[in-house]
Chains A and B, each alone.
Chain A
Amino acid sequence: EIVLTQSPGTLSLSPGERATLSCRASQSVSSNYLAWYQQKPGQAPRLLIYGASSRATGIPDRFSGSGSGTDFTLTISRLEPEDFAVYYCQQYGSSPQITFGQGTRLEIK
């Protein structure tokens, strides 16, 4: 099983700042099959990024994904108030054995 480790656990930033979230895999993720989700309290996760760098439908271009192999990054270029949430990475390179990271909480400073 591929284990995903996200860092930091909590990130405190102000609106307008740039956020950089990390996801590290215990082994190489095949074909960069890495996705990112956003989850707000009381809601289901929402897909943001798939294939490491492709934005899902309707996702603003301030969200971008990068990386390959075992190291991946989600960047939010200029934080909006609605971006403060928990973010999860997910790998599907070893599909069907899909795994998620433990999450990074992005909070308002």
Chain B
Amino acid sequence: QVQLQQSGPGLVKPSQTLSLTCAISGDSVSSNSAAWNWIRQSPSRGLEWLGRTYYRSKWYNDYAISVKSRITINPDTSKNQFSLQLNSVTPEDTAVYYCARGITVALNWGQGTLVTVSS
């Protein structure tokens, strides 16, 4: 059974970088048949897919157009986890952030992390 465990700070100052990590059990971040996503949810923006990383003989990343200039998703094979970095955050980035496993649909989800952007 795949489980995803998120970690990271719940408060980030404006203009700084939001960083979250998702630890994977029951699967491998290097799996050739999975993809690893970040999705966020806020009252104003609803559910928003942010991006994903996946391995198909080499590493690939896809990012949502809305955050493409500010986002990085990286795998960490030594720890079997993946991370999200979102730069230059504003209060509009305040949301519950989820990691999720799935190529096109989200089959497994992390527990969610409320990240508040405030000084």
Contact = CB atoms under 8 A, between A and B. Distances in A.
Interface of A: 1, 33, 35, 37, 44-47, 50, 56, 88, 90, 92, 95-103
22 contacts: A1-B65, A33-B104, A35-B105, A37-B106, A44-B98, A44-B110, A44-B111, A45-B47, A45-B106, A47-B102, A47-B107, A88-B46, A90-B47, A92-B105, A97-B64, A97-B65, A98-B49, A100-B46, A100-B48, A100-B49, A101-B46, A103-B46
Given A44-B98, A44-B110, A50-B105, A99 B65 contact: no
Interface of B: 46-49, 51-52, 62, 64-65, 98, 100, 102, 104-107, 109-112
A95 B52 CA distance: 11
Contacts of A95: 104
A90 B65 contact: no
Contacts, number: 46
Contacts of B112: 44
Contact of A100 (B47, B52, B109, B111): B47
A101 B47 CA distance: 8
Contacts of A100: 46-49
A98 B109 CA distance: 16
Contact of B109 (A35, A44, A50, A101): A44
Contact of B105 (A47, A99, A102): A47
A102 B45 CA distance: 8
A37 B111 CA distance: 16
B95 to A, nearest CB: 13
